[in-house]
Every structure is written in structure tokens, then in C-alpha cells.
Amino acid sequence: MHPATSVIIFTALSGLGFGMMVFLGLGMLDVSGWVAFVFVAISFALAGGGLLSSLFHLGHPERFLMAFSQWRSSWLSREGILSMAAMGLFGIYALLWIFMDNRIPVLGYVAAFLSVLTIFSTSMIYAQMKSVPRWHTPMTAVLYLLYGFAGGALLTTQVALAGWLMLALAIAQIVTWVQGDGAFAKAGSDMGTATGLGFLGKVRLLEKPHTGSNYLMSEMIHVIGRKHILKLRIIALTLGSLIPAVLLLALDAGHMVALIVILIHLVGLFTQRWLFFAEAEHVVGLYYGQR
């Protein structure tokens, strides 16, 4: 899949933002006033900024309100509604917290729960795609949630928790890659089933339908070299979770360390998200001789 910047930013930042809301909503981070405001503002900036970024992916962003209508069937619609609900509720919770110094636990728990659901529904936008076997696994949800939780914990200064979550994330990430590498083959689609001509022999593409390019090719077919993938995976794994885990668990984390860990994690996270899209092969590639 084409690793579109807007979508990478969307999933990465909104995951962090809602991850923060989870921990803030659960009543962690014992601060108040301006300090609370700063944390709340960061969580809103991340969640809102991510969502805003996703609008750039749309052909008609001005119609975005329509996207809230199909919660019965569409994970994207659910994600939209849940994110608004989560942010709305968390907003009320935060207002009371910042200005009234009153953290109402029930409100916070519900907001946290909605934030978890939001991250989950974001993940399900991808995990539901049977046409992209690498994504079509519960691990996608696990991964998105863990990235959200680990990043959220880190950003809400839950050092030890963040450390353990980072460790869990590293394990989940490795499992996902191992599983994902075999997913396409396991899904059972190949050029033979795509064309239905497998019974006649080995199928290969002789001519693309057009010598010119098209939307499908630029959107769904993204070829990256194996060596390149390995390099990026190492970066994503080490920076995204392993090094942060080690730093968080082993070092006495002060503000500077936390800031460095956050930066390291962000680099890893964006690398992971780029790979998440770039590595994912859509079965439509079979019609173009890809794979």
C-alpha cells in the first residue's frame, strides 16, 4: 500500500493522543492547573492533529460530517464517532480537572474507555481488510493498542508502565512481522486464483492493461526491497520500542531522558507506520504481476 504521509501522521499521532487520554482519564498523572492543561493540550493536539491530518487524505474533506453516519457497518465511521465522543467527554473531564480541579473518576473512566475503543476502531479500519492479508489479523489491533498505550504512558510520564508496555510492544511487533510475512501466502490468493486460470498452468502478467499508470497501482502497489525492509524494521523495533523499554526500565528517568525517549519512540513509531503501509501487499497486485 502507498505509505501516504497524511495517513501515517493520522494513525501515529491520534494513537498517541488517545493513548494519553486513556491514562489521563484513568486518573494517572497527579497534576493540576496549568500543568494538567499542558498535558491535556498535548493529548488534544495529537489526537485532533492526527484526525485533522486524515482529512488531507480525503477527496472531499468538506463532506467529512457524512462520515459519522455509518456506525452500524463501517469502522471508519465508528472511529470518527468514537473519537469525537472520546474527545468530547475527555474535554469535559479535562475542563473540570483544569479549571475546577475536580477529576470526576466515572467521567474519566468512560473517556478512557472511549479512547481505547477509538484506537481499536482505528486499527480495525486496517485489520478488517481481507484484501490486505498482512493487516487482516488481530495482531493489528494488538499493535495499535500497544503503540497507543506505550506512547500514551510515556507521554503521561508513567515511566515503569511505559517501559513494560514498550517491552510488550516489542514482542508484539516481532510476532506481527513474523506472522505478517506469511500472511499473504496463508490467505491463499495468488495469480492463479486471481485470474481463475491457475488450472491451466503458471500465470504471469504479459501486459499491464495500460502502459500508463493508474490509481490502483499508485495506491495499492508499493514495492520496496527486502534489504530496505530489514533496515527499516530494525529501526522501527529498536527505536520504537526496544531502546525506549531499556531506557525506561533501566535508567532513572528524568525529564531529559523522557524527552529523548519520546523523540526516539517517535522516530520508531513513524518508521513502523511507514512500514505498516509500505509492506502491506494488496491482493490487487496479483493482477499486475506483483508477487
Q: Contact residues for other proteins (CB under 8 A)?
A: 1, 57-61, 63-64, 66-70, 72-77, 80, 125, 128-132, 187-189, 191, 193-197, 199-216, 218-220, 282-284, 287-288
The residue assigned the cell 511487533 is 173
Minimal distance, residue 117 CB to other proteins, in Å: 16
Element (H, E) at 254: none
Based on CB atoms, which residue is closest to other proteins, 133 or 163? 133
What length is written for the chain? 291
Q: Which amino acid, 35?
A: V
Based on CB atoms, which residue is closest to other proteins, 74 or 176? 74
Based on CB atoms, which residue is closest to other proteins, 210 or 226? 210
C-alpha triplet 125, 46, 221: angle, nearest 5°: 40
Residue 188 zone, left/alpha/beta (φ > 0; ψ -120 to 50; rest) = left
Minimal distance, residue 49 CB to other proteins, in Å: 18
Instruction: Find how far residue 223's CA is from the centre of its chain.
Output: 21
The three-state (H, E, C) secondary structure of 7-28, written as one string = HHHHHHHHHHHHHHHHHHHCCC
Nearest Cα residue to 263 out of 90, 32, 16: 16
Distance in angstroms (rounded) separating the CA atoms of residues 96 and 133: 44
The residue assigned the cell 504481476 is 289
Minimal distance, residue 14 CB to other proteins, in Å: 15
Based on CB atoms, which residue is closest to other proteins, 58 or 178? 58
Minimal distance, residue 257 CB to other proteins, in Å: 40
Minimal distance, residue 194 CB to other proteins, in Å: 6
Minimal distance, residue 8 CB to other proteins, in Å: 15
Based on CB atoms, which residue is closest to other proteins, 101 or 219? 219
Based on CB atoms, which residue is closest to other proteins, 157 or 193? 193
Minimal distance, residue 205 CB to other proteins, in Å: 6
Q: Rounded to the nearest 5°, which phi and psi values hold at 209?
A: -60, -35
| Residue 214 CA neighbour count, 13 Å, CB half | 9
Based on CB atoms, which residue is closest to other proteins, 60 or 255? 60
Minimal distance, residue 186 CB to other proteins, in Å: 10
Answer whether 170's CB lies under 8 Å from 242's CB. Answer: yes
Distance in angstroms (rounded) separating the CA atoms of residues 88 and 142: 25
In Å, how far are 189, 190, 209, 224 from 291, measured between CA atoms?
10, 8, 17, 12
Based on CB atoms, which residue is closest to other proteins, 104 or 187? 187
